[in-house]
Amino acid sequence: MSLSGSVLTERDLVLTRIIDAPRELVFKAWTDPDKVARWWGPKGFTTVDHDMDIRPGGAYRFTMRSPEGTDHRKRGVFREIVAPERIEFTFAWAEPDGRLGHETLITVTFEAVDTKTKLTLHQRVFESVEWRDSHRTGWTSCLERFAEYIVTV
């Protein structure tokens, strides 16, 4: 059964591209909000609204419009920004009422290859739920420790 086989082995989405430009420039095209708005989306889509707080913990939201005129909203939070090597951010589609779809984690790395840049995009699909849960646990234990600490002072 090839269908289950492909889903089971292909748990993550990994894409690589060699881009004919120095990585500082490629990194800038990924981290300057107005530049991102120029290319992020499928062919024929336009960015009609964007807001991007490029720092760890900063949120972004982009609205892109399809050639048919339907709006699609992208939402997420930056987890890591290491210029000009790597960015990591969460990603989810948002419904018009603000509800978020399945959340994933995306890591993009930029590697200098002579005068070109090797871009690798890694979208983690299946770990998302557990990742989010483990995060919640992290915060909970943090708060518990804080509570323990505060009674001692």
Size of the site for another protein (CB under 8 A): 41
Please check whether residue 128 is in contact with residue 77, taking contact to mean a CB–CB distance below 8 angstroms. no
Antiparallel, parallel or unpaired: β 12-19 and 116-124:
antiparallel
| Cβ atoms of 139 and 30 closer than 8 Å | no
5, 57, 96, 98: which one binds another protein (CB under 8 A): 5
70 binds another protein (CB under 8 A): no
Q: Is 40 in the site for another protein (CB under 8 A)?
A: yes
Per-residue interface string for the shown chain with another protein, residues 106-145, x marking contact by CB under 8 A: ---------x---x-x-x-xxxxxx---------------
Check if the beta carbon of residue 47 is closer than 8 Å to that of residue 37: yes
Extract the tokens encoding 63.
Answer: 């609205």
Q: CA–CA separation, 41 vs 47, rounded Å?
A: 8
Which residue number, 57 or 69, has a Cβ lying nearer to another protein? 69
Binding site residues, another protein, CB under 8 A: 1, 3-8, 10-11, 13, 15, 17, 19-22, 24-26, 28-29, 35, 38-43, 100-102, 115, 119, 121, 123, 125-130
